[in-house]
């Protein structure tokens, strides 16, 4: 009887280690994905700023060309 209780306890401990390892791995993956999203949003903002700057520059050039043509 004692032997089966010890075996049961051992199995419980070993299975709990696997569960905690899985939880830690999932947390690490989740943190990595959150960082990827943050970097992607930052890149998107930088690209939008570049597009806005290019658009403003093109508008200024268009106005300058119109003024020179008159």
Please check whether residue 51 lies inside any domain of the structure: yes
pLDDT at residue 32, rounded to an integer: 84
CA angle 49, 52, 53 (to 5 degrees): 85
pLDDT at residue 7, rounded to an integer: 63
Please check whether residue 5 lies inside any domain of the structure: no
Please check whether residue 66 lies inside any domain of the structure: yes
Distance between CA 32 and CA 16 in Å, rounded? Answer: 24
Please check whether residue 45 lies inside any domain of the structure: yes
Burial class (CB in 10 A: 0-12, 13-18, 19+), 12: exposed
Please check whether residue 10 lies inside any domain of the structure: no
pLDDT tens, per residue, the chain with 70 residues: 667 776 666 556 656 566 666 666 777 778 888 899 999 999 999 999 999 999 999 999 999 998 888 7
Q: In terms of residue numbers, what domain contains 57? A: 39-70
Please check whether residue 56 lies inside any domain of the structure: yes
**pTM for the full predicted model:** 0.56
Number of domains in the chain: 1
Q: What is the DSSP string of 7-36?
A: HHHHHHHHHHHHHHHHHHHHHHHHHHHHHH
pLDDT at residue 30, rounded to an integer: 80
Distance between CA 42 and CA 48 in Å, rounded? Answer: 10
pLDDT at residue 52, rounded to an integer: 97
Please check whether residue 69 lies inside any domain of the structure: yes
Please check whether residue 17 lies inside any domain of the structure: no
């Amino acid at each position: 009887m004692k032997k089966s209780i010890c075996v049961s306890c051992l199995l419980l401990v070993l299975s709990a280690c696997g569960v905690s390892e899985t939880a830690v791995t999932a947390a690490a993956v989740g943190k990595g994905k959150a960082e990827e999203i943050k970097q992607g949003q930052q890149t998107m903002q930088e690209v939008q700023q570049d597009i806005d700057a290019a658009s403003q520059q093109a508008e200024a050039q268009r106005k300058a060309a119109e003024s020179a043509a008159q």
